[in-house]
Structure 1
Amino acid sequence: MAETATTAGAVLPRGFRSAELGWPELHRIPHPPHRLPLLGDILGAGRRTPVQDSLRYARELGPIFRRKVFGREFVFVGGAELAADMADESRFAKHVGLGIANLRPVVGDALFTAYNHEPNWQLAHDVLAPGFSREAMAAYHPMMLDVADRLTGHWDRELAAGRSVDVPGDMTKLTLETIARTGFGHDFGSFERARLHPFVTAMVGTLTYAQHLNTQPFPALLRRAARQNEADIAYLDRTVDALVRARRSGGGGDGDLLDRMLDTAHPATGERLSAQNVRRQVITFLVAGHETTSGALSFALHYLSLNPRVAARARAEVDRVWGTTAVPGYDQVAKLRYVRRVLDEALRLWPTAPAFAREAREDTLLGGDHPMRQGAWALVLTAMLHRDPRVWGADADRFDPDRFEASAVRGRPPHTYKPFGTGARACIGRQFALHEATLVLGLLLRRYDLRPDPAYRLRVTERLTLMPEGLRLRLERRTAPAAPAGTGPEPQQAGQQPAGSGPQEAGSAVRCPVHRAGD
C-alpha cells in the first residue's frame, strides 16, 4: 500500500485518515448512538452548532468520545484529567486541523495557523513578543481609553434616543478599533458607521466559510460561497496592503506591532519578516485580536445583566478602586480583581475560542489507557473541560465569579482552565485581551446599569469562535454611587445549557483607505 507523510512526520498508509489509524483502539472510544452508514453521527446534530452539539454528546458519552461526519472521524477530549495529559508539551504539540487549517488560504503560516515545522512561527513570535510586554501594554492603555470613550459616546446617544444597544455588534466595533489603533495606528471609523465596517463583514465571511468546510462532504458544492470567500480574502489583503503602504510612506509609527513587523530583526538571527508574512500577521492580529475579545465582553455583559447582585458587587469595586470621576491609570486595571473574575467566569462558561487540537509527538498512551500513535490528534473541547463536574462541581453550568477567588484557583488542579489554549502555541495576546476587557467592563459598570430583555434567551452563534446572537441590553445612566457589595437580589441561575439540551489620545490615526462600494 502506498504511503503518505503527515505534518507531524508520521508515515501513514494512503487512504486512511490520521484520526482513524492514529488511534489503534478507536473502537473503545464511545460515539453517539444511531450512527448512519456514510453519513455518520448526524442525527440530532446541526451543521451550524457543532460545538454545542458536542457539548451535549459529552454529557451523554463522557470525558472522551468520537464523532463521525461524512466519513471523517474526530476524537473529542474534555475530561480534566485527559485534557491535563494532553497539555504535556513533552508528549503533545499543537495540531493545525479542522477549521484552523481552513483559514490558511487567508493567513497562511501566521502565528495562529502555522504548522509546527514552519520556521515563520518562531520568527514572528520572537519578533512580536516584546510588543506584549508590560511597557508596551502601558503605552496601549491611553488608546484603549480613547476607543472606550467612543463606545460610551455611542451608547449615550442610543440611551438618549430610548434605544437598546446591540451588544455583540458594539463590542466588535470596540475591539476592532482597539487592536487597529494600538497595533497598527489605524482607525476604521467603526462608531461613525451605521453598519459594521466591511473588514468585519469579510472577516466573518472567512470564518463562517471555514466552519462550513468542516461539515461539508462535498466542498465543490460550495461554489458560490467559495467565490465569496475569495472576494473576502482579497478585500482583507487590499485593506492590509493599504495600511502597510500608508505606514511606509508616513515614515513609521510609534513602535507599535506594525513597526515591529516592518523594522525589527530577530534578536539572534537578524532575520526579518517577509512582506507576505507581514500581511498575514496583520490580518491574524486584526481578526484574532478582536473577534474573541468581543465575544468575551458580550458574554460577560449578558451575565452581568442577569445577575444584579454580581453587577452591584463589581460596580462597588470599580467605585472603590477608581472613584467615580477619575480616569483609570494602567496599574489600576489589575486592581479590579472581582471584575476580572466576572470575565474569567464568562470565559469559563463560553470560551470564545471553544477548542484547540493537540497531536502526539510520539507513540503514547493518553491517560494511561488510550493508545495514540505519533501524529494522532484530538480536539480538546474547552467548553466541555470548563464544565467538568469533577473540577467545577455539580453546578458547573451556573454563573459564579467566586470560582476564581484566589483560594479556589489554588485548590483546583492545573490545566483545568484554558480559554487561551495551552503550551508554547497559546495566545500571544492573552494579557492584551484581559487588560482591554477588564478596563472596558469597569468603565461600563461605572457608567451604566444594565437591564436585560426579559424575553431574551441566550443563543450562541458559531463561526469558529462563539458569540451571543441577538443580545440587546437596555441602559440606565448611573446618577449615584453603586450600592455596597453584597446588596441587591440574589444571583439568577444564569448558566445556559448548550443549544439543544476616556480621553482623546494625542495624535491622529490613519483612516481606512479602502472601502467597498456603498460603504
Structure 2
Amino acid sequence: MAETTTQAARPRGFRSAELGWPELHRIPHPPRRLPLLGDVLGADRRTPLQDSLRFARQLGPIYRRKAFNREFVFVWGADLVADLADESRFAKHVGLGVANLRPVAGDGLFTAYNHEPNWQLAHDVLAPGFSREAMEGYHPMMLAVAERLTDHWDRELAAGQAVDVPGDMTKLTLETIARTGFGHDFGSFERSRPHPFVSAMVGTLTYAQRLNSVPFPQLLRRAARRNEDDISYLNRTVDDLVRARRTASGDGDLLDRMLETTHPETGERLSAENVRRQVITFLVAGHETTSGALSFALHYLARHPDIAARARAEVDRVWGGTAVPGYDQVAKLRYVRRVLDESLRLWPTAPAFAREAVRDTELAGVHPMRQGAWTLVLTPMLQRDPAVWGADAERFDPDRFEAKAVRSRPPHTFKPFGTGARACIGRQFALHEATLVLGLLLRRYELRPDPAYRLRVAERLTLMPEGLRLHLERRTPTADVSPAADLDEAPSELRCPVHGAGD
C-alpha cells in the first residue's frame, strides 16, 4: 500500500497556508506571472531543474517561482547557502520530490523527517558500515564488478560498437551496491535490457518528479497506477532478498548490520519494515547518483583529451605495473579525483537540497523566516557562482580542486552530497568507487566522443547525461613502477569523518 503523509508526520512548523517568509514580496520572481498558472508559461516539465537554473541566472541569488497554487523559494548565492548550513538554525527539509518518494522509502535515511526516530537509529547502526575497515572489505568486490564492466566493453569494442555510458554505469553501480551491501547479484551485465529493478526505480523517481509539475495529482491517474506497480515490485524484490538472508549467514555487510546490529546505547533494532525501507534507499540512492557522476566525468574526459591524458599519466605513474590496484592506491589518484569533483561541481547528480528554519530567524540577516519556512538550494548554481568560482565558472577545469585553490575558497561552496547532519552517509563509498572505476577505464581505454553529440541532461530527481555514447580504443599502459611523489593536497570538503555524516 502506498504510504500517505499525514499532518502529524510533517515537520513541526509546517504551514500549508503560507510559506513562512513574512517579506516574500522582497524576493524577485519571473516576469509575466499569470493568474492561477503562476510562472509555468514556457517551462518544460521534463527539465524543471534546468528551468530553475535559467531563472536563477536572470533573477539572482534568491528568487521565487509559482506553479499553480504553490510557491517556492530558491537560493544559490554562496553567502546565503553558508548561512543555511548553520545547524543551530536550519535543518534538512523533506519536501518536493523527496517527500513524493515516501510511499516507497518511508522513514529511510534519505526520506525521513527530522523528528522521526528511525533516522538516528539507522544512522548510528549503519555508520560503521562506511568505516575505513568496511571500505577495505568492499574494495575487492568493487574490482570484481568493474572487471565485468571492462569485459563487456571489450566485447563492444571487438564488435566495433560505441558503448552506452549511462546504461553501463547504471549496471556497474547497481551491481556494486548490491554485492557490497547485500550480497546480491542482479546479473545486469548478462542482460540485454535493464533489470526490472532499474526500470521500477526509474519509474518511481520520474513519477515523484512529475507530481511537482501538475496542479492536481488526479491528472496522473494512469501514471499513479504504474507507480504503485513499480513500488510493489521494489518491495517484493527487497523482501525476497531479506528473506534469503535470514536463512543464510552473510559476511557482515550492510544487510547484516540492519538485521543483527543493536544500537550501541539503547539496544534497539531496526524493525522489519524499516529494514525494507533502508535497503530500498541504499539500492536506489547508492547507485543512481554515482552512475550519473561517472557518466558526466566520462563525457568531460572524452571531450578534453588533454585532461584525459594528464589523468591517464597519473594512473600509469601511481599504479605502475600493478595488475590489481589496492585500496590505498585509489586515494593516491589525486588528479583523477579532481576530475570527478569538477564533474560533480558542474552537474551534481543530486542537484538540490532543501533547508528549513528550526526557529524564527533571518537568512543572512536580510530575509526573515518563520519556524518551518524552507528553501531549496540549487547546487549547480551554487557551484557556478562567479563570485566564488570566477568568471569562467561554466568551464570544465579540474585544477579548481588543486590544494591551494580549495584552501582559498570559503566553506559551503561545494555541496554535491548535501550538508550537515543529513548529508549523504555513503559519500566515501561513492567517491572511492567512482575514482577506482575512472582509474581502471583510463588505464585500459582511450575515450573517443561522437562529434555530433551535444550534452543533454535528463532529469528524474537525479541528473544523467542523456544518450551519451563513446567509442573506445584499447591501450597498453606505461609500465613505470616508480613511486609517485606525494602531492601537496588540502583535505577535501567531502573527506569528513564518517561518524559525523548522515543523510
Could you tell me whether the CA contact under 8 Å between 1:387 and 1:397 is conserved in 2? Answer: yes
Aligned equivalents of 1:254, 1:480: Cα separation in 2: 35
Number of the residue aligned with 1:166: 164
Q: CA deviation at 1:249?
A: 1.1
Could you tell me whether the CA contact under 8 Å between 2:201 and 2:230 is conserved in 1? Answer: yes
Q: CA deviation at 1:481?
A: 3.1
Could you tell me whether the CA contact under 8 Å between 2:14 and 2:373 is conserved in 1? Answer: no
- One-letter amino acid of the counterpart of residue 199, structure 1: F
Number of the residue aligned with 2:501: none
What CA deviation, in whole Å up to 9, does each residue of 1:133-155 have, x standing for no partner? 00000000000000000000000
SS class of match (1:186): coil
Q: CA deviation at 1:367?
A: 1.1
Aligned equivalents of 2:170, 2:446: Cα separation in 1: 21
Could you tell me whether the CA contact under 8 Å between 1:8 and 1:361 is conserved in 2? Answer: no
| 1:265 to 1:309, Cα distance in 2 relative to 1, 3 A | same
- One-letter amino acid of the counterpart of residue 293, structure 1: T
Q: Confirm or deny that 1:74 pairs with 2:75.
A: no
Could you tell me whether the CA contact under 8 Å between 1:289 and 1:433 is conserved in 2? Answer: yes
Q: CA deviation at 1:44?
A: 2.3
- One-letter amino acid of the counterpart of residue 141, structure 1: H
What is the 5 A alignment of 1:2-41? Answer: 7-10=10-13, 12=15, 16-17=17-18, 19=19, 22-41=20-39
Q: CA deviation at 1:435?
A: 0.1
Number of the residue aligned with 1:116: 114
Please identify runs of 4+ aligned residues in structure 1 that moved more than 4 A: none
Number of the residue aligned with 1:245: 243
Could you tell me whether the CA contact under 8 Å between 2:320 and 2:479 is conserved in 1? Answer: no
Could you tell me whether the CA contact under 8 Å between 2:315 and 2:333 is conserved in 1? Answer: yes
Number of the residue aligned with 2:371: 374
Number of the residue aligned with 1:392: 389
Number of the residue aligned with 2:189: 191
Aligned equivalents of 1:223, 1:481: Cα separation in 2: 58
Could you tell me whether the CA contact under 8 Å between 1:324 and 1:446 is conserved in 2? Answer: no
Number of the residue aligned with 2:497: none
What CA deviation, in whole Å up to 9, does each residue of 1:55-74 have, x standing for no partner? 11111100000000011000
Q: Could you tell me which of 465, 469, 481 is aligned with 2:466?
A: 469
What is the 5 A alignment of 1:109-508? Answer: 109-250=107-248, 252-479=249-476, 481=478
Could you tell me whether the CA contact under 8 Å between 1:295 and 1:467 is conserved in 2? Answer: yes
SS class of match (1:416): coil
Q: CA deviation at 1:7?
A: 3.2
Could you tell me whether the CA contact under 8 Å between 1:451 and 1:475 is conserved in 2? Answer: yes
CA RMSD of superposed structures (Å): 1.2
Could you tell me whether the CA contact under 8 Å between 2:316 and 2:477 is conserved in 1? Answer: no
Could you tell me whether the CA contact under 8 Å between 1:8 and 1:374 is conserved in 2? Answer: no
Could you tell me whether the CA contact under 8 Å between 1:5 and 1:11 is conserved in 2? Answer: no
User: What's the TM-score once normalised by structure 2's chain length?
Assistant: 0.93
| 1:6 to 1:160, Cα distance in 2 relative to 1, 3 A | closer
Aligned equivalents of 1:60, 1:233: Cα separation in 2: 39
SS class of match (1:357): strand
Aligned equivalents of 2:195, 2:366: Cα separation in 1: 50
What is the 5 A alignment of 1:88-127? Answer: 88-127=86-125
SS class of match (1:351): coil
- One-letter amino acid of the counterpart of residue 90, structure 1: S
SS class of match (1:187): coil
Q: CA deviation at 1:45?
A: 1.2
Q: CA deviation at 1:414?
A: 0.3
Could you tell me whether the CA contact under 8 Å between 2:444 and 2:477 is conserved in 1? Answer: no
Aligned equivalents of 1:115, 1:11: Cα separation in 2: 12
- One-letter amino acid of the counterpart of residue 152, structure 1: T
| 1:415 to 1:482, Cα distance in 2 relative to 1, 3 A | farther
Q: CA deviation at 1:42?
A: 1.2
Q: CA deviation at 1:326?
A: 2.1
SS class of match (2:344): helix
Could you tell me whether the CA contact under 8 Å between 1:6 and 1:375 is conserved in 2? Answer: no
Aligned equivalents of 1:111, 1:26: Cα separation in 2: 32
Could you tell me whether the CA contact under 8 Å between 2:443 and 2:477 is conserved in 1? Answer: no
Q: In structure 1, list runs of 5 or more residues that go unmatched.
A: 484-519
Q: In structure 2, list runs of 5 or more residues that go unmatched.
A: 1-6, 481-503
What CA deviation, in whole Å up to 9, does each residue of 1:80-125 have, x standing for no partner? 0000000110110000000000000001000000000000000000
SS class of match (2:310): helix
Number of the residue aligned with 1:500: none
Aligned equivalents of 1:167, 1:426: Cα separation in 2: 27
| 1:315 to 1:202, Cα distance in 2 relative to 1, 3 A | same
SS class of match (2:413): coil
What CA deviation, in whole Å up to 9, does each residue of 1:413-448 have, x standing for no partner? 000000000000000000000000000000000000
User: What's the TM-score once normalised by structure 1's chain length?
Assistant: 0.90
Aligned equivalents of 1:68, 1:11: Cα separation in 2: 18
- One-letter amino acid of the counterpart of residue 128, structure 1: L
Q: Calculate percent identity across the aligned residue pairs.
A: 83
Aligned equivalents of 1:346, 1:10: Cα separation in 2: 37
Aligned equivalents of 1:413, 1:362: Cα separation in 2: 26
Aligned equivalents of 1:448, 1:408: Cα separation in 2: 30
Q: CA deviation at 1:9?
A: 2.1
SS class of match (2:145): helix
Aligned equivalents of 1:324, 1:79: Cα separation in 2: 46
The count of residues paired between Structure 1 and Structure 2 equals: 474
Aligned equivalents of 1:463, 1:236: Cα separation in 2: 17
